[in-house]
Amino acid sequence: MLFNSYTFLFFLLPLILGGYYLLVPRRWRSAWLVLCSYVFYGWWDWRFCGLLLLTTTIDYIAGGHVAASAFPASRRRWLALSVCCDLGILGFFKYFDLGAETANALARTLFGPGAPALPLLHLVLPVGISFYTFQSMSYTIDIYRGQARPARSFLDFACYVSLFPQLVAGPIVRYRDMDDQLRARTHTAAKAGAGIALFVLGLSKKVLVADAVAPLADAAFTQTTPGLAAAWPGLLAYTLQIYFDFSGYSDMAVGLGLLLGFRFPQNFDSPYKAVSITDFWRRWHISLSTWLRDYLYIPLGGNRRGPARTYFNLWLTMLLGGLWHGADWTFLAWGAWHGAWLALERMRGKRSLATALPVPVQTAWTFLLVALGWVFFRAPTFAAALRYFAGLAGCNGAGALPAPTETTALPWMALAFAAVLAFRAPNTWQLALRPTWRLAAALGCLFALCVATILVNSSSPFLYFQF
């Protein structure tokens, strides 16, 4: 189900909040949230609720045994069981066909066209599996490291894994940050007010900005050989679209969490103001970048084994981070692109190539590098990405200007750029919000505009739902 759909806004969300505050006794609120979260997830395809429950059960049992066992070997076995099951489920649904295609291509190269081939299963990718798998898996790892205590009950852990605001697209929340909140959390008017404001702002980012610039990006990236006149506007449109789409979802998730008494971690901090790629990854999808750091980069050795190994670890972490986003060579290329720049900046003491220049130039340089990386992220194939780069370089000619129906996105792009440069990420100032009649009226008008826009254009999925 989409946050930006009429069904959610006017049916499921009022039902969830009404039941949570008015109908359900306090001691049953976690159970109510689990039920509602499974309804929310199952609305898309109820069959995958069993997969979510399976992951939850495996990690809850494994985490309990890790905490209870006094023998290191037993603790390691239960940890291995948890990690292998989680990655096995994720790998099967997300990467089986990519692995089969790669193996088949290698077999044809070595043994000729008649080589036996693995079948392609064309599995439906469960929505949010990458997010909830990483979230659930971190629970067992943190217990093994002594950084988290086991859940008080299976119900608490099920609530943590399935909690609908951040279930399908993050932020990726650690259990240790939710433990106390699952046991007892506060509900205040200030927290609810901040939650409503963040939810409406996030909805506006998605409906009024991201969806408005999407046609220009789609038109450019669907061209076989985009020319210069289409390639650059299309790339800038997509660069803005993915930020406002994903940060809008994160704001809505944080806002919904506040309405239910939970505080989720900040996921964005004005990433397009970054002065280096290193700085960008401190600001973009923060919950993922810190997860990769704590559970992949540091276990690989981090920076403890000399400069060369540090550079390799950075590059490999980002390569696997790219693969986490999707089972395609384009995502590997995107991860390799960012990993290479992170390694280069680490060689220079975490400074970009533009460090000696004024800050606006550093920001523009970093924005350009990030935007070029988005070509791999958006292009349907690696070959299409190369053709798009050719278009950016003018190798495909000037090409045609965007159609009139697509140029309507240009004013919204200008507005989006102004917002990126003028404002800080909302999560950073949410606690400073003071409820006033003017604020309430502004939010009401903004919400009404979003609802009217959805009525005209219909709801569109969030980009990160595909991961």
Residue 145 contacts by C-beta under 8 Å, 6 or more apart in sequence? none
Tokens of 316: 């490999």
Number of alpha carbons in the 13 Å side-chain half-sphere of residue 255: 22
Question: Which 3 state secondary structure label does DSSP give 24?
Answer: coil
Residue among 65, 187, 285, 325 flagged as catalytic: 325
Question: Which runs of consecutive H residues, i.e. helices, occur in 210-358?
Answer: 211-221, 228-259, 277-283, 286-292, 307-325, 329-347
Q: Name the packing angle between helices 437-457 and 189-204 (round to 10°).
A: 40
Active site residue 65: no
Burial (0-12, 13-18, 19+ Cβ within 10 Å), 306:
exposed
**Cα–Cα distance between 43 and 25 in angstroms, integer?**
25
Question: Which runs of consecutive H residues, i.e. helices, occur in 23-151?
Answer: 29-42, 49-68, 72-111, 129-145
**Cα–Cα distance between 424 and 184 in angstroms, integer?**
31
**Cα–Cα distance between 31 and 29 in angstroms, integer?**
5
Tokens of 70: 């006094």
**Cα–Cα distance between 414 and 216 in angstroms, integer?**
13
DSSP secondary structure letter of residue 25: -
State the DSSP string of 244-287: HHHHHHHHHHHHHHHHTT--PPP--S-GGG-SSHHHHHHHSSHH
Question: Which 3 state secondary structure label does DSSP give 152?
Answer: coil
Asked if residues 195 and 442 have their Cβ atoms less than 8 Å apart, the reply is: no
Give CB contacts under 8 A, 24+ apart, made by 427-433: 427/198, 427/250, 427/251, 427/254, 427/266, 427/267, 427/268, 427/269, 428/266, 428/269, 430/194, 430/197, 430/198, 430/254, 430/258, 431/194, 433/190, 433/193, 433/194, 433/197
**Cα–Cα distance between 409 and 103 in angstroms, integer?**
43
Helices (H) and strands (E) in the chain, counts: 20, 0
Asked if residues 440 and 300 have their Cβ atoms less than 8 Å apart, the reply is: no
Catalytic residues: 325
